[in-house]
Chain A
């Protein structure tokens, strides 16, 4: 009994205001239910607006998280420099610019904001193991610093070491997807595979990274860069490299030092374009921000138009409702309702109507997100709670804004005229 006492006490002391608000909401719900189809058509605009808010926000959010995670996986301080096409005055391709180990060593030695550098040479290769042959594999030739620089570690066996690089040893590290395609398991470590016809000892297996934008990041093999140059001597003048800045705040500085050193070494005159490209992860973020801005402005357009349409719909149906229920208003006034009471009743009704639309829209938004995640390559989308609150706030706001005129019209109805109304 004592457990029950205080909730009962609270119930008894619910202020009259709250009680009449609740009774207004119930009246409103009864009205909405009595005119189901009309109410549904009325709130269509609101439903569309809220559905688009929820859908677009959750997609933008989902892709944002996806990019952020991907970039974090790359290592937060990563910069990649690569030779670029040298173009003639009309933009025609002349040749690929040159970049070699001397460039890379120079950056390593003379750029103070750089912590470490790992050369990078990429080839499409085929890998053979037993009877299995797999083509189109990304073969990366690099040094022993690859792991910390790319934030990409082995989780079975070992990575190759300095000695392997110095000796140009025939050792390799394989990615998990490649392993899967070779139809083998971790027993492959210490066994031998053939990469582009040459025999390599597998010393380790890389952790799984998953895929990004449809590219599988685990379909790769890594060998020492010295070994790579032995296999592909032509590549020695077209090397690129990974660079890790000392910390996140020095990424910009590392980049400008790198640019300075390379321009000097490549003898590029002021005003001439770089013959190399630099990729930073915040470039991806910048690109994504552009997409986000476009998506947000399209969203704002759709939302404001459909909220306007929805609001006008609500105003219209509320005006009709006030006319239809003139007698009811008269009766309520004759039993003691003040203008304020009637105003609040009809305003509540408009707000409840638009909020119901908002709730339906939130449901549809969730449903859209769910359907989208059924696609295998879709990123994980989640609806942030602030978007739900924003959407609800918008719909309730529309109810207040467009409900105030009909509610006022109801409030000033004269009881005598109302009771004579046919």
Chain B
């Protein structure tokens, strides 16, 4: 069995991606020919100083924005030229966001917050999916609490549950521990680590090395270009076959 067969299928393929936008009269070249492939169940940190293009990258990865040129394939589907409403559909089914400042709806219970993406994706049995997601972040006992009754770490766990609710292909976390104290922060990272162990593909945008250390792969951006793409020294991990890939392998063996 060759090394290639051992690799999980790619979730994200960025091919020669460019993004320019205008700030006032100035033309900003935020991404200049980025090419990255991220496979299933990878745990990736995207790093870089401000202005390096990592926010732009996050927006494009999250289908909040489209590239000026180049191709973005998400789970094999070219999403670089989709309309706004198609992008919204992709966001609701394939992407789970976790934001630095949680972005929970105030005056709305944790459960209802988690159900929100399911409302927009018109999923049935929302309550069940939401409860399952809350269970995965150990917040079942807080599901009827409102955000103002929750601690920062709990809020971020609700946000993670919300990202998980629709069983997305990737979770995109933007500085997930940025607004948290170190204890809550490590709690959140433990949850992300566990989700990764359960097979979830996770991409974290951060500028903290300690956060990046949890990830198995670190991509550094500078002036819109990838300047570093290295595997972290955790030998168990990379490239890690997903459960699905492992199953597939077993099937091949059987046949």
Contact = CB atoms under 8 A, between A and B. Distances in A.
A joins B in a complex: yes
B64 A332 contact: no
A419 B99 contact: yes
Contacts of B65: 416
Nearest to B116: A335
A337 B107 CA distance: 19
A335 B107 contact: no
A415 B89 CA distance: 14
B64 A334 contact: yes
A336 interface: yes
A419 B103 contact: yes
Nearest to A337: B120
Contact of B105 (A328, A334, A340): A328
A34 B108 CA distance: 12
Contacts of A334: 62, 64, 91, 97, 103
Contact of B103 (A327, A336, A338): A327
B59 A337 contact: no
B97 A23 contact: no
Given A23-B119, A34-B107, A415-B64, A335 B97 contact: yes
A341 interface: yes
Interface in A336-373: 336-341
Contacts of B93: 336
B68 interface: no
A336 B105 contact: no
A20 B119 contact: yes
Nearest to B93: A336
B80 interface: no
A14 to B, nearest CB: 11
A222 to B, nearest CB: 74
A419 B166 CA distance: 21
B192 to A, nearest CB: 18
B84 A339 contact: yes
Contacts of A341: 88, 120
Contact of B59 (A16, A338, A340, A416): A416
A30 interface: yes
Contacts of B103: 327-328, 330-331, 334, 419
Given A415-B64, A416-B64, A416-B65, A332 B116 contact: yes
Contacts of A415: 64
A333 interface: yes
Given A20-B119, A327-B103, A335 B92 contact: yes
Given A327-B103, A336-B120, A336-B121, 20 more contacts: A30-B108, A328-B103, A332-B120, A334-B64, A334-B91, A335-B91, A335-B97, A335-B120, A336-B92, A336-B93, A337-B88, A337-B120, A338-B89, A339-B84, A339-B88, A340-B85, A341-B88, A415-B64, A416-B59, A416-B64
8 tightest CB-CB pairs across the interface, nearest first?
A: A336-B92, A336-B120, A335-B117, A331-B103, A338-B88, A336-B91, A338-B85, A415-B64
Interface of B: 59, 62, 64-65, 84-85, 88-89, 91-93, 97, 99, 103, 105, 107-108, 116-117, 119-122, 162, 166
